[in-house]
Amino acid sequence: MTIETVDTLVVGAGQAGVALSEHLSSCGVPHLILERHRIAERWRSERWDSLVANGPAWHDRFPGMEFPDTDPDAFVSKEKVADYFVAYAEKIAAPIRCGVDVKEVQRIEGRPGFRVETSTGIIEAESVVAATGPFQRPVIPPIVSGDAPVMQMHSNSYRNPAHLPEGAVLVVGAGSSGVQIADELARAGRRVYLSVGPHDRPPRAYRGHDFCWWLGALGKWDIETPAAGAEHVTIAVSGARGGETIDFRRLAARGITLLGMARAYENGTLTFAPDLADNIARGDANYLSLLDEADAYAVRNGLDLPEEPSARAIGADPSCVTDPILQLDLADAGIGLIIWATGYAVDYSWLKVDAFDERGRPRHQRGVSVEPGLYFLGMPWQSRRGSSFIWGVWHDAKHLADRISTRRKYLAHHYASAKRESENA
Ligand SMILES: Cc1cc2nc3c(=O)[nH]c(=O)nc-3n(C[C@H](O)[C@H](O)[C@H](O)COP(=O)(O)OP(=O)(O)OC[C@H]3O[C@@H](n4cnc5c(N)ncnc54)[C@H](O)[C@@H]3O)c2cc1C
């Protein structure tokens, strides 16, 4: 069997793989990217039809290229995002091989490098980068068993209201996915229940700037480690319909019944924690604190931005918040479907190396694994809050390319010295 050799093998051609290719080329590192589907596949086939980017076009992109023929303040469609990365890969001549699944990676004993088993053959590489995404495996909490008389799906599989069976829908999870899906279903005339956990909900825009700008100006995208407990706090934002602040009171006014965190299920009845009012209040506090920080920043830096006192108006809590439902008989409520918008996990089971902690999380420093020659890219909080987002991964990729290039120099020095010694022997 022929064994192909490459210097650096990148697994995955989403935005992370494309960004890394640009930086590896700049550093002169020969590399190959393997992608099991198509470039930026998840944007095409693992998102719902109407999804647009959460950040405006001027922000959610790489520095080297703008979205063509696009208003910089627009929120581009998911297809346009995927097209952007295809065009970017072409522009930088990224060496991407699509349709190749990486099945297993093992360390080569006795010398640096890895043996990579793929769907099309064996490759040996000095370095391997796992750029397989921050959101790989949909997670559904074990609350309602699979044989319960209600259909269940993850938000990953949701496409549009017309694809769903008739009847009311319970959406669990009020991060960006859950609120957008619940809103879309309500607008399509569905009866919708939305289970709301702890969340942040920044203003879509304030005093003339989008929240992406404010998070950048306030240094919040660069926060290096999540505040205690904040790792699990989801952020509820939306670029839908030109972008609007997520306001749970407005969703309730549209007919969506808000519920606390889904807790347990028995005999057709779901139980909810009595935490809805707290979760809403916490989201409000997060929202107002960003307005405070933005105002202080504007004063301190002498920014002449239009005042926006109306942004501080928080309406009265709707009855579903003041008098929350704690138990819901799904059949009585006409709910035939639960959509779990409950997030994702990573899956590195194909990496057969000693580089993970007891919970299966990579042991690494800014993506540089404890296993020499192995790297991770695109993980949530890899180096900062922005790491798993389009603009953030580009900066992490730059760091990794630099580390890979530096390690190559050390190895090259070793091989050159060894060669000299053997020639002199
Ligand atoms: C609903 C949703 C909306 C989002 N919206 C935004 C947004 O608006 N703005 C933003 O900045 N971020 C957004 N994100 C976050 C992030 O930008 C995306 O998740 C993005 O897809 C991550 O890119 P990636 O390259 O790191 O990973 P992925 O896009 O997941 O790419 C990894 C690639 O690796 C391939 N792969 C995996 N395993 C293997 C293997 N073993 N062999 C070969 N190939 C493999 C996959 O097919 C995939 O193409 C969103 C995320 C979600 C879930």
pLDDT in tens, 9-32: 999 999 999 999 999 999 999 999
**pLDDT given at position 258:** 98
Mean pLDDT of the 338-364 span: 95
Minimal-distance CA residue to ligand 1 atom 26:
133
Q: Is the CB of 133 under 6 A from ligand 1?
A: yes
Q: What percent of the chain has pLDDT over 90?
A: 96
Q: Predicted confidence band at 425 (pLDDT cuts at 50, 70, 90)? A: confident
CA 377 to ligand 1: nearest atom = 26
Q: Which segments within 131-254 are labelled E, that is strand? A: 137-138, 151-154, 168-172, 192-195, 199-200, 205-206, 209-210, 234-235
Q: Residue 128: which of 353, 365, 306, 421 has the closest Cα?
A: 353
**pLDDT given at position 94:** 98
Contact 251, 194 (CB under 8 A): yes
Domains and their CATH numbers in the chain: 3-136+346-424 (3.50.50.60), 139-340 (3.50.50.60)
**247 three-class SS:** coil
CA 52 to ligand 1: nearest atom = 8
**pLDDT given at position 213:** 98
pLDDT tens per residue across span 276-303: 999 999 999 999 999 999 999 999 999 9
Give me the half-sphere count of Cα atoms (radius 13 Å) on the Cβ side of residue 127.
31
Q: Is the CB of 203 under 6 A from ligand 1?
A: no
390 C-alpha to center of ligand 1: Å? 9
Q: What percent of the chain has pLDDT over 70?
A: 99
CA 38 to ligand 1: nearest atom = 49
Mean pLDDT of the 206-235 span: 86
Q: Is the CB of 41 under 6 A from ligand 1?
A: yes
Tokens of 145: 């068993």
Q: Is the CB of 60 under 6 A from ligand 1?
A: yes
Q: Is the CB of 11 under 6 A from ligand 1?
A: yes
Mean pLDDT of the 350-377 span: 96
Q: What is the largest CA-CA distance in the chain?
A: 87
Separation of alpha carbons 399 and 278, rounded Å = 40
**184 three-class SS:** helix
133 C-alpha to center of ligand 1: Å? 5
Prediction pTM value? 0.96
Tokens of 360: 């299966």
**67 three-class SS:** coil
pLDDT tens per residue across span 79-133: 999 999 999 999 999 999 999 999 999 999 999 999 999 999 999 999 999 999 9
Query: Over the chain, what is the mean pLDDT?
Result: 96
**pLDDT given at position 49:** 98
276 C-alpha to center of ligand 1: Å? 31
pLDDT tens per residue across span 140-153: 999 999 999 999 99
Q: Is the CB of 55 under 6 A from ligand 1?
A: yes
Minimal-distance CA residue to ligand 1 atom 10:
389
One-letter amino acid of 391: W
Contact 322, 280 (CB under 8 A): no
Given a cut of 70, whether residue 231 has pLDDT beyond it is: no
